[in-house]
Amino acid sequence: MEPYILYYWPTIQGRGEFVRLALEEAAVPYQDVGRGRKGMPQIDAVLDAAIEAMPAFAPPVLRAGAQLIGQTTNILQFLGAKHALAPRTQEGRLWCNQLQLTIADVVAEAHDSHHPISMNLYYDDQKKEAKARAKDFRTERIPKFLGYFERVLENNPRRGGFAVGARLTYVDLSLFQLIAGLRYAFPQTMARLEPQWPRLIALHDMVAARPNIEAYLKSKRRIPFNEDGIFRRYPELDGQAPASLSARR
Amino acid sequence: MEPYILYYWPTIQGRGEFVRLALEEAAVPYQDVGRGRKGMPQIDAVLDAAIEAMPAFAPPVLRAGAQLIGQTTNILQFLGAKHALAPRTQEGRLWCNQLQLTIADVVAEAHDSHHPISMNLYYDDQKKEAKARAKDFRTERIPKFLGYFERVLENNPRRGGFAVGARLTYVDLSLFQLIAGLRYAFPQTMARLEPQWPRLIALHDMVAARPNIEAYLKSKRRIPFNEDGIFRRYPELDGQAPASLSARR
């Protein structure tokens, strides 16, 4: 099999990281072209309808032989089925995809916590609005989403602490990344809230300790979190609780 | 087969509408429980981890026999495969799902154009921010997304004017709904921009004229667009009038 080719921005984890974690856990060879020389023109090309019959709207994009696959959850569905990172049954696969889509929703909201007005403006140009949105994200959305995932773990009748069934799936890898990202961006908030989600934190630790993931996280292939990515550490967005907005409700 | 049960809010089209259109086109029986008596407790129940083994995070949710399926794109993937609203090949199905996920992205942005700060606050409490976000949505995001879908239609080598292959898929139904929703919410913007997307508009018209869809749109089952849904008509978010009309202001 030809190695997969991953097309993603070279300087951030971003949504590409969910794909990288699946590829690393499965130990399948892949070329992370964005990080190589001439990476950017290659990314531009997979988005170009004049070049590709089925262009993607945005990275990440995965080339698998003749197939070009866009959208993070779609790529993970493909990789999960191919590399035993998803259940075999249709019901199990739909459930994995449903959970991954819900992870994608909270990831999009994490992004919008620092860019609530426009992704075409700098953070500093929407900082005031970001403070208001981040407050809602910290106080309403993080607890709602992570509380949901904690209950999903609790409801899984199989042993092992995984999200779905008795084996690791790509959903577990993505939940690890979600926790890691939220901890990076909202350290105070997460320190305060985490005790509510013991199963999620245990899953995070279990994924981090898997040999392939542990090796990856220590490697240069893991780009550090930074303030160009989805999860950004702006202390003013991690602020102390209540006051202005909640008084208006 | 037992009829499907759809769980969705009773007073809006929202994300449930993408599912309804697929069910209506396929002419499969379904119960829209949210609109019936005791609908709300039934919706609450499918989100409750104490009741359902695999609870959904949010509606829409579809019950198909023993399966409970959440997340719009996931439901459509299921229905598409089951009711000939998706291609038979894995490649074709991935491409449909990829396009549907991109539609979901623009739909989420349409929602955030009137709720950029918090879905827990009223529109009037975030109107100023909504004006800024809606401007970005009108001038940057609508052209980028719809330009992308126009090129997808152009790139499809098969005849018929569909998004994928030579037959109708759930993606076509969703593109119809996207155009209809954007026209409702941003009538001036769309009137100005639509000539750029002749294939998308032709697809919209073709879907609207399909017998099952035409009958549905005329029925009481089609909830009218309104200002509680995703696509809301707030004139201040639709910006300036076209040059020819601005003299009237």
pLDDT tens sequence across A208-237: 999 999 999 999 999 999 999 999 999 999
| CATH classification at residue B123 | 1.20.1050.10
Residues in chain B with CB shorter than 8 Å from the CB of A94 are 67, 69, 74, 77-78
A67-73: long-range contacts (C-beta < 8 A, 24 or more apart)? A67/B91, A67/B94, A69/B94, A69/B98, A70/A46, A70/B98, A70/B102, A71/B97, A71/B98, A71/B101, A71/B102, A72/A15, A72/A18, A72/A19, A72/A104, A73/A97, A73/A100, A73/A101, A73/A104, A73/B73, A73/B101
Backbone Cα Rg of chain A: 18
Map A216-244 to HEC letters: HHHCCCCCCCCCCCCCCCCHHHHCCCCCH
- Label residue B139 exposed, middle or buried (CB < 10 Å: 0-12, 13-18, 19+): middle
Side-chain-side CA neighbours of residue B47 (13 Å): 17
Q: Phi then psi for A67, rounded to 5 degrees?
A: -95, 140
DSSP E strands, chain A: 4-7, 30-32, 61-64, 67-70
Strands B30-32 and B4-7: parallel
Residue B193 lies in a domain: yes
Cα angle, residue B208 at apex, residues B161 and B236 outer, rounded to 5° = 105
| pLDDT value at residue A247 | 45
- B153: its two tokens: 């239609």
Residue B81 lies in a domain: no
Residues in chain A with CB shorter than 8 Å from the CB of B70 are 98, 102
* Mean pLDDT of the region B86-104: 97
pLDDT in tens, A123-176: 999 999 999 999 999 999 999 999 999 999 999 999 999 999 999 999 999 999
Residue B175 lies in a domain: yes
B155-159: long-range contacts (C-beta < 8 A, 24 or more apart)? B155/A49, B155/A53, B155/A54, B155/A55, B157/A53
Site from B101, B127, B149, B199 to mutate, A interface, most A CB atoms within 10 angstroms: B101
Residue with tokens 């997307």: B197
pLDDT in tens, A101-127: 999 999 999 999 999 999 999 999 999
Site from A54, A128, A245 to mutate, B interface, most B CB atoms within 10 angstroms: A54
| pLDDT value at residue B241 | 53
Per the CB < 8 A criterion, the answer to whether B217 and B177 are in contact is no
Q: Comparing C-alpha atoms, which of A234, A207, A72, A73 is closest to residue A138?
A: A234
Residue A149 lies in a domain: yes
| pLDDT value at residue B117 | 97
CA distance, residue B74 to nearest chain A CA (Å): 6
Site from A19, A69, A71 to mutate, B interface, most B CB atoms within 10 angstroms: A71
Residue A243 lies in a domain: no
- The Cα-based distances of B186 to B48, B72, B135, B240 in angstroms read 36, 23, 11, 11
Compare all CA atoms of chain A with the CA of B164 and give the residue at the minimum distance: A54
Per the CB < 8 A criterion, the answer to whether A154 and A198 are in contact is no
Report the domain count for chain A.
1
Structural domain range at position B126: 90-210
Residue B241 lies in a domain: no
Classify each residue of B6-19 as buried b or exposed e, where b means 16 or more C-beta atoms within 10 Å of its C-beta.
bbbbeebbbbbbbb
| Chain A to chain B Cβ contacts (< 8 Å) | 121
CA distance, residue A38 to nearest chain B CA (Å): 24
Question: What percent of chain A has pLDDT above 90?
Answer: 94
B190-193: long-range contacts (C-beta < 8 A, 24 or more apart)? B191/B242, B192/B242, B193/B142, B193/B143, B193/B146
* Residue B143 scores a pLDDT above 50: yes
- The Cα-based distances of A158 to A49, A80, A97, B67 in angstroms read 45, 19, 19, 18
* Residue B44 scores a pLDDT above 70: yes
Please give the single-letter amino acid code of residue B1.
M
Distance in angstroms (rounded) separating the CA atoms of residues A95 and A100: 9
Residue A194 lies in a domain: yes
| pLDDT value at residue A242 | 46
Residue B62 lies in a domain: no
Distance in angstroms (rounded) separating the CA atoms of residues B206 and B169: 13
ipTM > 0.90 for the complex: yes
